[in-house]
């Protein structure tokens, strides 16, 4: 008997019918995704989340009654979230709420695919153990596998709830681990926590401002708490 693919249950929270239909059509193209329901407001979505185990929520921000991020803050155990919006102004707030990705409408299918692939990587990430070596590298253990990551090759570490991504010169390593745990291991002279979701290699920072850094071409926000620690 052929083994069926894992189905990730999806919820669309979108008050524009055309936008909702486009996302639903994109979901239908992916054999690993299953659409649970389309909700036109946060109240309806909340009732669905109480009765359904949802893995991934596509969340519009400009919803009637309760806005998208206000709704997300009220959820005790939210699913993973991909934001869908026509506005450019909310990316920083999305970082604060640990959303997986941020899609601007109109959403191209290729961009949708990239966001969903990112979600799948996090969902499938393995729990890992990390140990520090005096030879300036860390060892990441995945069950019977082991990866050696040299400190000089690490650009930054990004956190999504219980997952982290270690962005390096050669690859992105995704593991299930709190960012606080790897922060304890890294050399404090080389790496700096600048946000609840980001640690950067200080010698890899290309541009610095009060609100964000650029590392390897990627804009990274500086959290308010960490800015205050500078003073």
pLDDT digits (tens, 9 = 90+) for 200-227: 999 999 998 888 999 999 999 998 777 6
Supply the pLDDT for residue 102: 87
The CATH classification number of 8-124 equals: 3.40.50.2300
Structure-token match 């299953």, residue found: 34
Phi and psi for 87 in degrees, rounded to 5? -110, 145
Q: Under a CB-based contact definition with an 8 Å cutoff, are residues 43 and 50 in contact? A: no
d(CA 129, CA 181) in angstroms, rounded, equals 10
Fold of 126-228: OB fold (Dihydrolipoamide Acetyltransferase, E2P) (2.40.50)
Q: Give the predicted TM-score (pTM) of the model.
A: 0.61
Supply the pLDDT for residue 231: 45
Range(s) within the chain of domains with CATH label 2.40.50.1020: 126-228
Per-residue confidence in pLDDT tens, the chain, 231 aa: 344 567 899 999 999 999 999 999 999 999 999 999 999 999 999 999 999 999 999 999 989 888 988 999 899 888 999 999 887 765 555 566 678 888 999 999 999 999 999 888 777 765 556 665 555 888 787 666 778 888 999 999 999 877 889 999 988 888 888 888 889 888 888 999 999 899 999 999 999 888 899 999 999 999 877 766 654
d(CA 103, CA 52) in angstroms, rounded, equals 24
Q: Report the candidate in 29, 37, 30 with the shortest Cα–Cα distance to residue 10.
A: 37
Supply the pLDDT for residue 142: 67
% the chain with pLDDT above 70: 85
């Amino acid at each position: 008997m052929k083994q069926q693919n894992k189905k990730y249950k999806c919820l669309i929270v979108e008050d524009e019918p055309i936008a909702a239909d486009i996302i639903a059509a994109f979901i239908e193209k992916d054999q690993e995704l299953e659409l649970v329901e389309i909700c036109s407001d946060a109240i309806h979505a909340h009732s669905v989340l109480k009765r359904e185990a949802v893995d991934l929520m596509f969340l519009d921000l400009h919803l009637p009654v309760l806005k998208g991020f206000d709704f997300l803050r009220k959820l005790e155990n939210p699913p993973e979230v991909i934001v869908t919006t026509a506005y450019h102004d909310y990316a920083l707030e999305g970082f604060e709420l640990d959303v997986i990705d941020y899609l601007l409408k109109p959403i191209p299918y290729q961009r949708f695919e990239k966001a969903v692939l990112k979600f799948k990587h996090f969902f499938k990430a393995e729990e890992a153990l990390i140990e520090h070596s005096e030879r300036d590298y860390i060892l990441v253990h995945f069950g019977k596998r082991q990866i050696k990551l040299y400190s000089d090759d690490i650009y930054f570490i990004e956190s999504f709830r219980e997952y982290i991504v270690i962005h390096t010169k050669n690859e992105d390593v995704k593991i299930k681990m709190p960012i606080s745990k790897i922060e304890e291991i890294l050399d404090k002279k080389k790496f700096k926590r600048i946000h609840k979701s980001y640690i950067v290699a200080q010698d890899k920072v290309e541009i610095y401002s009060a609100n964000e850094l650029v590392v390897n071409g990627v804009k990274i926000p500086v959290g308010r708490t960490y800015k205050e620690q500078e003073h």
